[in-house]
């Protein structure tokens, strides 16, 4: 496969993480960056020796972009993604896909019409402990997965929500802990257990009165394959504790991963304080 001509829209903290990756990957020829603020785009572009633009369509045409990474705030995901897909450009979007279901559907539909690939960043699938669980399931080491769970107890303070003007509102962020902090664990649960058939849940804002969105949510699930599941996620534990995904099998074996421990990762503001580990593993003959 030839190296793709890649570009980024959005020059914030996450944009720099993407730029460093696209600059180093052999599959990528990083060529351009776009921002509504052209001066900011020029400063960003100078760091990576790429072209700067303030219009997505102009950037795609002039720099012959083949793949676009969308690193804008949540409410600004849809516009560049749809324009890129319509132009025949593959799109990779930072989670969440968008801040509304209407925008998500529009992005997906644009990709289907033009036949390009649309992806959302789910990097925890590539953690070694997470892949180990996937292999165990595929190899039948659990029998059939019959019970799955997510437990994520995190913390976000007022300074975090004030760090960007779009954080904490329904219109701008699109949701709270379910949309912005727990998607990676929720993605892993569905990756392991399959599609969800039924869901019942509650959400609330327990101790963040200065935001609109939920800081805590719980749910009970039934998957298409008949398995059961539960979700408990929260940004109300100070200090943050952990994020964990567990899968239990029909043969009695259980496997799990702690994807995040200690103070949770915040792009551009902190590091993951504890490495991901398999903190549960009772597969017969592999308990040690």
**144 and 15 assigned to the same domain:** no
HEC states along 247-282? EEECCCCEEEEEEEECCCCCCCCCCCCECCEEEEEC
Instruction: Report whether 19 contacts 48 (CB < 8 A).
Output: yes
Structure tokens at 122: 């789910």
Rounded to the nearest integer, the mean pLDDT of the chain is 94
**156 and 220 assigned to the same domain:** yes
Confidence of residue 164 (pLDDT cuts 50, 70, 90): confident
pTM: 0.89
Q: Going by C-beta distance under 8 Å and a sequence separation of 6 or more, which residues neighbour residue 70? A: 9, 10, 77, 80, 81, 84, 91, 92, 93, 94
Give the CATH number, domain containing residue 23. Answer: 3.40.50.720
The domain total for the chain is 2
pLDDT of 288 over the 90 cut? no
Answer with the one of 121, 139, 156 that is the final residue of a domain: 121
Confidence of residue 271 (pLDDT cuts 50, 70, 90): low
- DSSP sequence for 103-122: HHHHHHHHHHHHT--EEE--
pLDDT of 287 over the 80 cut? no
Confidence of residue 263 (pLDDT cuts 50, 70, 90): low
Closest CA to 184 of 152, 213, 155: 152
Answer with the one of 76, 96, 121 that is the final residue of a domain: 121
Answer with the one of 79, 104, 121 that is the final residue of a domain: 121
The parent domain of residue 52 ranges over: 4-121
Structure tokens at 86: 């319509």
Give the CATH number, domain containing residue 162. Answer: 3.30.360.10
pLDDT value for 262 = 73
pLDDT value for 275 = 86
Task: Give the H/E segment covering residue 22.
Answer: helix 13-24
pLDDT of 63 over the 80 cut? yes
Confidence of residue 280 (pLDDT cuts 50, 70, 90): very high
pLDDT value for 176 = 95
């Amino acid at each position: 496969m030839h190296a793709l001509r890649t570009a980024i829209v959005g020059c914030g903290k996450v944009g720099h993480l993407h730029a460093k990756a696209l600059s180093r990957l052999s599959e990528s020829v990083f060529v351009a960056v776009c921002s509504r603020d052209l001066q900011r785009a020029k400063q960003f572009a100078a760091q990576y020796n790429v072209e700067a633009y303030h219009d997505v369509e102009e950037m795609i045409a002039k720099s012959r972009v083949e793949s676009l990474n969308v690193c804008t705030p949540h409410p600004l995901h849809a516009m560049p993604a749809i324009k890129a897909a319509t132009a025949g450009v593959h799109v990779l979007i930072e989670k969440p896909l968008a801040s509304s279901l209407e925008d998500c559907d529009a992005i997906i539909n644009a990709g289907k019409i033009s036949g390009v690939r649309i992806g959302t960043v789910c990097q925890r699938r590539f953690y070694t402990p997470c892949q180990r669980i996937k292999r165990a399931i595929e190899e039948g080491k659990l029998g059939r997965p019959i019970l799955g769970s997510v437990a994520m107890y995190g913390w976000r303070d007022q300074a975090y929500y004030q760090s960007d003007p779009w954080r904490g509102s329904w219109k701008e962020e699109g949701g709270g802990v379910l949309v912005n902090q727990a998607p990676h664990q929720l993605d892993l649960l569905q990756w392991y257990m399959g599609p969800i058939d039924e869901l019942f849940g509650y959400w609330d804002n327990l101790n963040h009165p200065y935001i609109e969105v939920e800081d805590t949510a719980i749910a009970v699930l039934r998957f298409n394959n008949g398995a059961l599941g539960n979700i408990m996620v929260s940004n109300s534990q100070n200090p943050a504790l952990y994020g964990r995904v567990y899968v239990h099998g029909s043969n009695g074996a259980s496997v799990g991963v702690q994807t995040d421990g200690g103070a949770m990762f915040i792009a551009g503001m902190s590091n993951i304080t504890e490495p991901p580990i398999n903190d549960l593993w009772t597969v017969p003959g592999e308990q040690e």
